[in-house]
Structure 1
Amino acid sequence: MIRTSLSAFGEILILLVISVTSIALFRRLGLAPILAYLFAGILAGPSVFELFSDTHQISLVGELGIVFLLFSLGLEFSVPRLIAMRNMVFGVGLSQVILTLLVGFTLVFLLGLNWQASLAVSCVIALSSTAIVIKQLTENAKLQTHKGQLSVSVLLFQDLAVVPMLIVLPIIAGASDVGLTTSLLIALLKGFFVFVLMMAAGKWVLPRIFNEIAQARSDELFVLTTILVALLTGAITQLFGLSMALGAFLAGMMLGESQYKHQLEADIRPFKDVLMGLFFISVGMQFDIFVLADIWYWLLLSVLAIIAVKVLIIQAVIRLFGYNKSDAWASGIMLCQVGEFGFVLSALSLEHGLIDSFVASIMMGVGVISMGITPFLINHAEHLSYWINDKNPLTVNPEESLEPSDLTDHVVICGFGRVGQTVSRFLKMESIPFIALDVDPTRVKEARAASEQVRFGDARKLAILSSVNIQTAQLVIIAFDDLPRAITIINLVKQHAPQAKILVRTHADDYLQELIKAGADEVIPETLEGSLMLVSHVLFHSGVPVKRIFGRVRRERKNHYNGLHGFFRGDTSKTDSDEIEYLHAVTLPKNAFAIGYKLNELDLPLRKVEVNSIRRNNQDFNNPEPNIRLKAGDVLVLLGSPHKAERAEKYLLEGR
């Protein structure tokens, strides 16, 4: 038993080493992480090192990655977004998928495969890589161009088409017992029943559950509930004989309209990424590299054929809907690869016996090669489209971007309490774009009902900040008083949005230096600012010129409120913290140790105490000079924590 456990542990450890090394290498080469996972699976699989005697366990765990992937995909399918892009999504996207399925099915069937295998292969060919294409378009700032939006629309429908494909492929594998028509009809009825059940749960059950969970303010509980919902809905659909992925997709789609969407995405992402990595590793383990080495020329020919067919189909469909040639060809070049869902469908088809390992290896090889060259194709899609159209890109007017996002050069407000809402009102008056984040579900619900720009999400997570375009924000306001949370957000903003200024609101100035050291551009202590405003009114009504008042206030802010630090403590003051500094007066009698010494001759700084002022002969010396010599009767006003001030007083009086 112990020996087996050690062996399993060693296998997992070696797999982790291979995976980490592969991902680091592929990232250095600018290739997608998916390819790194596939490469790691090939190395760990029977083709090379044969590390695992039983790869079924890894495949079983990896399938959970598909569940979480479909859950995340469902979160993206908001009904308003689909309606806004309906012409491109359900026009261009639907036409591309149907036409590619028909052409792919015909060509593969003519090559000698049966109709079930032909349908499975054509489903793989019809899909492109959402992850790689959108990532490259974002990095190249082409996401908002016409060709970028066309590509995204096609990808949206392809992702939507994955769901019926996941249902149909297992059905046609076992259709001989009952009949294909009957099997599809039964699956349709089951799917309709499950859909109604899920929608009812999404409308009346899940929102109440997440409201209660959010009220608890527990990150762990929120994450666990998210995982439970994804797996439970998958289990329900599996109970009805349908795919687990379908249930997860429906659950994600139901929650995609809720205020918790972005927080759910952030919470599920780590689990999805790790489990998807395991899934692609398990796919790579099925990759027979020696078989492909013998038929490498057929593999390359298949890659070229699939790329050519997809480019021709996509550009023809886009031109059919009235878009210009350059956009059509560029979109076709961007979407000509076989995507990550192709691996999912290939593995599913192999599992149900629709295709053999030889065909599966070819399809996986096509996917790996086509995805590997995708970044190059996207980077040069525009020039290739001009070359195909026999046009010089220098003579073509640059296309105008679509309407830019509202979230550009905007303000991000972390915390939508009293302070955050007050700030937002003044920003709204000046027509300054902003977006707020808050973790109070009731507050977010009330604010969103009033059409306020606020989202539910924890600003300590990069995914949440990215969802509000932190990379293009001009200002970040941390409007809550929580030092650990504030420092975490400051670090994230400094790392991923260095151009953004950071303003932090605190109740007092207890942690002012820590926040400034962490990277905050300005720290606004609420108590001290209130004191400054009160002083401003007092001085104004006392006849002091406004210019002098503004000058004094400006100097206090510039000096980080040094003139306002410290106060005399009373019975209600907190005395159990060394972080809070108080003022403490010490009178020097005739026999005091410090008499005759200069301030700089005493080791008060080493005792972390400052002399704020000295009162001598009814005259105050604020910020006294270091060389002032102390006399009997002097009253020293010390600034420091209670314990340190008391020890300093004993030193001044007794010398110890």
Structure 2
Amino acid sequence: MQTTCACHPLTMENRASAAIIVRLTGEYRVPHDLILTILTVMLGATALVAICHRLGLSSIVGYLATGLLLGPYLLGILHESETIHWLAELGVVLLMFTIGLEFSLPRLLASRQLVLGLGGAQVATVTLLFGAALAVAFGIDWSLAIILGGAFAMSSTAVSLKQLGEQNELATTHGRVSTAILLFQDLAAVPFLVLLPLLGEQAGGIGHVLLFTLMKAAVVFVLLAWTGRSLLPRVLHWVAESHSLELFMLTVLAMALTAASVSMLAGLSATLGAFMAGMMLGETHFRHQIEADIRPFRDLMLGIFFISIGMQLDPAVLYQQLIPILLVIISLTLIKGLVMWLLIRGFGYQKSIAARSAIVLAQGGEFGLLLVSQVISIRSDEAGLLQPVLAGLIISMLLAPLLLRNNETLANFLMHSGDKDDAKNAIDNGAQGDDDFRDHVVILGYGRLGRGIARVLIENNIETLAIDSDPRLVRELRLQGEPVLFGDASNPGLLQQARIDQARAAAITFDDFEHARRVIAQIRRFNEQLPVMLSHPADHDDCEIGDDNVIVFDSEMESALMFARQLLVVAGVETSAADLAVNSVRSHDYSELRGVGDED
């Protein structure tokens, strides 16, 4: 018996196609070295960041240590490449975008004395003081001296605010003062980054280049401001109505990168455009959702940026130029701290508050590292000066958590006073900002049920903060002055914005039970004991949560009981008797009504 084979002989065309495929696959080899490099970086960063967390240090320190350890000066696993450079640049762009989100013109003007006055005085004084000292001591040109002075003026927003938040000191007076100065420092980083291209110019042409740069910056500012106010909110509103988180995130990233590209095409820094785009979107009610969505991606890219900074640090500098490095650290902690203490005192604050604020900010910062690393790439001939500055900035950031943790003790020691009155006065009794909620109730889902709950709570002097994913509803309610955030309630960043860790209770009012499970799981990351009330029909087996602090409120049954009570009253039954009848059903755990119709 003869069988036929389904495999036909190759035609000339098939042989040619097969030959091409074999050739291509033969030439294309999986880049095992690249995969191993990425794996090594991931494992190294994971281990070192975990160690830093155990020691109470910032993640930034772990990333810097990863770059130092794996970089060309030690193990030699990582080398400078265009990929690392552009990923690091993307991290900085996203950082400036999120800073723009937090920058609100109305809020800035409301606290202009603290932010613009004190923050501006700190940046200007430290920049000029250190810039002049560097110009005189090393004979460098004024443009380089000013940018390096600006690097000394910057403090670490990531380290300071994270540590103050963990110590519950953000709402204190020294916390507010420190936050205001950090905000202005972040804003001041933009013009410093814009001025970086001037380092490559000859002294005679700097004036014309500076004027032309400022004119281009003004044009880009006006263009992005007009686009941001007239177009971006409409586009985001249209996208948000699709209820697609992926599309929303993609649109936001496209907006940030488009603005950065426009700025680059104008010959300016990409960070300026990203900052402008963030500032425009920060005026919309999408701000919190955008910040929550983009934060993980931003943090990952920033991790690569800090790894690239660590790669630039030559460990040999630590012993070859130990004295210059110590001078940089002393300048950042003592001289910069003293200047800030004098300025804060000049604005009328008490000695201990001024001292605590100065201690909080007496270190280098992310933008200082960015400025110095950019200068190294532009002016490699100044490496003898820049390497000790870079090392000093990094070491000061390593010391910062220790200073922050003991800022009160150090302030009392320096002021030769253990007076507790200052500590009491350090608590801020002023009006809190829109984001400063504490001991409130978070309502997740702000439909009719959510708004009804809020009304009752407010009448009993309990603050509420709501989250809802309906952009039209959120926009209308925010125009009416109600505290409502737009976004997905299961987003951990958004829950953090809602201060879920400071809340007294949470109420989940939407119908999607699986979504509610995810929300509760995220809530438990921030507050393990928070009472949560969930509105859901309780006559199904799928309503088990397994959490003693979650109360499942049988919305359908309770609605039926209220309807029955009102019907009894209409039928002539006295109110007390109607209440008794309803409570009787409740006391039997709805057993009279449960099970009816379940056979279907």
TM-score above 0.5 = yes
Match of residue 536 from structure 1: 565
401-410 vs 277-286, which deviates more?
401-410
1:489-568, aligned counterparts within 5 Å? 489-506=519-536, 508-509=537-538, 511=540, 514-518=543-547, 521-539=550-568, 550=579, 553-554=582-583, 556-557=585-586, 561-568=590-597
Amino acid at match of 2:175: G
Q: Paired residue for 1:608?
A: none
Partners of 2:381 and 2:300 in 1: how far apart?
A: 28
1:128 to 149, 155, 160: 155
CA contact (8 A) 1:127 1:338 kept: yes
Q: Give the superposition deviation at 1:292.
A: 2.1
Match of 1:310 among 324, 336, 341: 336
1:194-209 matches, within 5 Å, as 194-209=220-235
- CA-to-partner distance for each residue in 1:218-257, whole Å, 9 max, x for gaps? 0100111111111111011000000111100000000111
CA contact (8 A) 2:529 2:549 kept: no
**Rounded Cα–Cα distance in structure 2 between residues aligned with 1:515 and 1:42:** 50
Structure 1 residues 89 and 538, CA gap change in structure 2 (3 angstroms): closer
Provide closer, same or farther for how the CA distance between residues 325 and 500 of structure 1 changes in structure 2, counting only shifts above 3 A: same
8 Å contact kept, 1:516–1:522: no
Between structures 1 and 2, the one with greater helix share: 2
Residue 111 of structure 1 aligns to which amino acid in structure 2?
A
Write the deviation string for residues 23-50 of structure 1: whole angstroms up to 9, x where unpaired.
1111111111111001000111111111
Give 1:160's match in structure 2, choosing from 163, 184, 187.
187
**2:5 — aligned with what?**
none
Shift of 1:114: 0.9
Query: Which of 430, 433, 449 pairs up with 1:403?
Result: 430
Any unmatched runs of 5+ in structure 1? Answer: 569-581, 584-641, 643-656
The alignment status of 1:146 with 2:179, answered yes or no, reads: no
- Higher mean displacement: 112-121 or 145-154: 112-121
For residue 517 of structure 1, what is the amino acid of its counterpart? Answer: G
Could you tell me which amino acid in structure 2 is paired with residue 185 of structure 1?
L
Hey, what does 1:458 align to over in structure 2?
488
- Deviation larger for 354-363 or 72-81: 354-363
Relative distance call for 1:566 and 1:398 in structure 2 (3 A) is: same
- Once the two structures are superposed, the pairs formed by residues 566-585 of structure 1 within 5 Å of their partners are 566-568=595-597, 582-583=598-599
Aligned-partner Cα distance in 1 for 2:421–2:178: 24
1:267-318 deviation digits (Å, cap 9, x = unpaired): 1101100000001111111111122232224322321133211011101111
| Structure-1 separation of matches of 2:587 and 2:63 | 53
- Residues 562 and 371 from structure 1, CA distance in 2 versus in 1: closer, same or farther, beyond 3 angstroms? farther
Aligned AA for 1:131?
A
Instruction: Say which SS state the counterpart of residue 442 (structure 2) adopts.
Output: strand
Q: 2:129 aligns with which of 100, 103, 118?
A: 103
Identify the range of structure 1 (233-242 vs 451-460) with the bigger mean alpha-carbon deviation: 451-460
The amino acid of 2:559's aligned partner reads G
Q: Is the 8 A contact 1:71 1:252 kept in 2?
A: yes
Match of 1:333 in 2: 359
Specify which of 79, 99, 116 is matched with residue 73 of structure 1: 99
Letter aligned with residue 528 of structure 1:
M
Partner Cα distance (2:329, 2:423) in 1: 33
Cα deviation digits, residues 346-370 of structure 1 (max 9, x gap): 1111122176334333222112211
Shift of 1:75: 0.4
CA gap of 1:467–1:247, structure 2 versus 1, over 3 A, is same
**Aligned-pair CA distance for 1:407:** 1.9
1:53 to partner: Cα distance: 4.6
Would the aligned equivalents of 2:173 and 2:353 in 1 still touch at CA under 8 Å?
A: yes
Contact 2:118–2:181 (8 Å) recurs in 1: yes
- Structure 2 counterpart of 1:145, which letter? T
Distance 2:45 2:90 in 1: 19
Of 213, 225, 248, the residue aligned with 1:187 is 213
C-alpha displacement of 1:392 = 2.6
Q: Alpha-carbon deviations, 1:496-530, whole Å to 9, x = none?
A: 12343211123x33556535435563222332112
Larger Rg: 1
Residues 383 and 393, structure 1, Cα contact 8 Å, conserved in 2: no
**Match of 2:382?**
356
2:88 pairs with one of 57, 62, 76: 62
CA contact (8 A) 2:164 2:170 kept: yes
**Cα distance, 1:122 vs. partner?**
1.0
Contact 1:487 1:518 in 2 (8 A): no
Q: CA shift at 1:544, angstroms? A: 6.7
Give the aligned partner of residue 60 of structure 2. 34
1:594 maps to none
Cα shift at 1:394:
4.7
Q: 1:165 to 1:230 in 2, by over 3 A?
A: same
Q: Conserved in 2, the CA contact under 8 Å of 1:125 and 1:338?
A: yes
Structural mapping, 1:267-416, within 5 Å: 267-353=293-379, 356-394=382-420, 398-399=424-425, 400-403=427-430, 405=432, 407-416=437-446
Are 2:144 and 1:117 equivalent residues in the alignment? yes
Preserved contact between residue 490 and residue 520 of structure 1 (Cα < 8 Å): no
Alignment RMSD (CA, Å): 2.2
In structure 1, the residue matched to 2:499 is 469
The equivalent of 1:428 in structure 2 is 458
CA distance in 1, matches of 2:273, 2:550: 47
Residues 361, 135 of structure 1: alpha-carbon distance in 2 compared, 3 angstrom cutoff? same
Aligned CA distance change for structure 1 residues 393 and 376 (closer, same or farther; 3 Å): farther
User: How far off its partner does 1:541 sit?
Assistant: 6.0
Report if aligned partners of 1:238, 1:244 keep a CA contact under 8 Å in 2.
yes
Q: Which residue of 2 aligns with 1:220?
A: 246
Q: Distance in 1 between matches of 2:529 and 2:428?
A: 23
* Change in 2 beyond 3 A, CA 1:557/1:13: farther
Displacement, 1:419? 1.2
Partner residue in 1 for 2:4: none
**Secondary structure of the residue that 2:113 maps to in structure 1?**
helix
Quote the residue 1:438 is aligned against: 468
* Paired residues of 2:539 and 2:594 also in contact (CA < 8 A): no
What TM-score does the superposition give when structure 1 sets the normalisation length?
0.83
CA positional deviation for 1:125? 0.3
- The number of residue pairs the alignment matches comes to 569
In 2: Cα distance, 1:220 partner to 1:257 partner:
22
Q: Which amino acid aligns with 1:187?
A: T
Cα separation, partners in 2 of 1:93 and 1:14, compared to 1, 3 Å: same
Identity of aligned residues (%): 35
DSSP-derived class of the 2:165 partner: helix
In 2, Cα distance between equivalents of 1:559 and 1:106: 81
Q: Does 1:448 align with 2:478?
A: yes
- The CA distance in 2 between the partners of 1:190 and 1:183, in whole Å, is 10
Moved more, 153-162 or 352-361: 352-361
Q: TM-score, normalised by structure 2?
A: 0.90
3-state secondary structure, aligned to 1:398? helix
Change in Cα spacing, 1:463 to 1:404, as seen in structure 2 (3 Å) is farther
Residues 1:300 and 1:524: Cα distance change in structure 2 (over 3 Å): same
Distance in 2, matches of 1:264 and 1:473, equals 22
**Aligned partners of 1:553 and 1:192: how far apart in 2?**
69
